[in-house]
Structure 1
Amino acid sequence: MNVEEVSFQIILNGGNARSLAMEAINMAKTGEFEQAEQKIEEANSDMTKAHRFQTQLIQGEARGETVEIRLLLIHAQDHLMNAITVIDMAKEIIELHKKIK
């Protein structure tokens, strides 16, 4: 798989993970905590997929393969980091909504 394909997989899975985490927050707002937790699990699954693609690039570089740094790859990394942050914050927000209810 080339760097563009890997980048698109990171964007796809990272974006899905972020969206699922946002859905989880919205479910927690309405007291749907079991569904919110399910969305977090789905988000974690998609984030893990994105992370695996990122790991492929890192391992390739460790083997001495040259990875061309392109804007698309930087964009993909941005998606992954945003997904990680939103999932972490969503977990905290869900817990806060549980305490409020």
Structure 2
Amino acid sequence: MAKKSFNDLINSPGMPVLVDFYADWCGPCKTMNPIVEQVAKEFSGKLKVLKVNVDHNQAAASQYRVQGVPTFILFHKGQIVWKQAGAVPGHQLSQVIKQAIAKE
């Protein structure tokens, strides 16, 4: 099976895709990691979660104008439905995802 591109992954039909743009050296990114993992478990089968290291994938970060990390972008059917730079409370992240899933 061919490796899917970033654009293929975010345009996948069927479920929203949460992209976590992060960097290994970023303190707030490390703080958000367990929250992102919990959200991935909570919405398993209803949400795809992608983690994108901006140091290793500068093209995707540039394409979506990621200027700080962490940055979270929620895609629904390939369209950005929510974007947030900086740490996000877990309940806020869950609420945004629930709204996107409800549109499915």
Q: Which has the higher helix share?
A: 1
TM-score category, normalised to shorter length? under 0.3
Q: Which has the higher strand share?
A: 2
Q: How does the TM-score come out when normalised to structure 2?
A: 0.27
> Higher relative contact order at CA 8 Å, sep ≥6: structure 1 or structure 2?
1
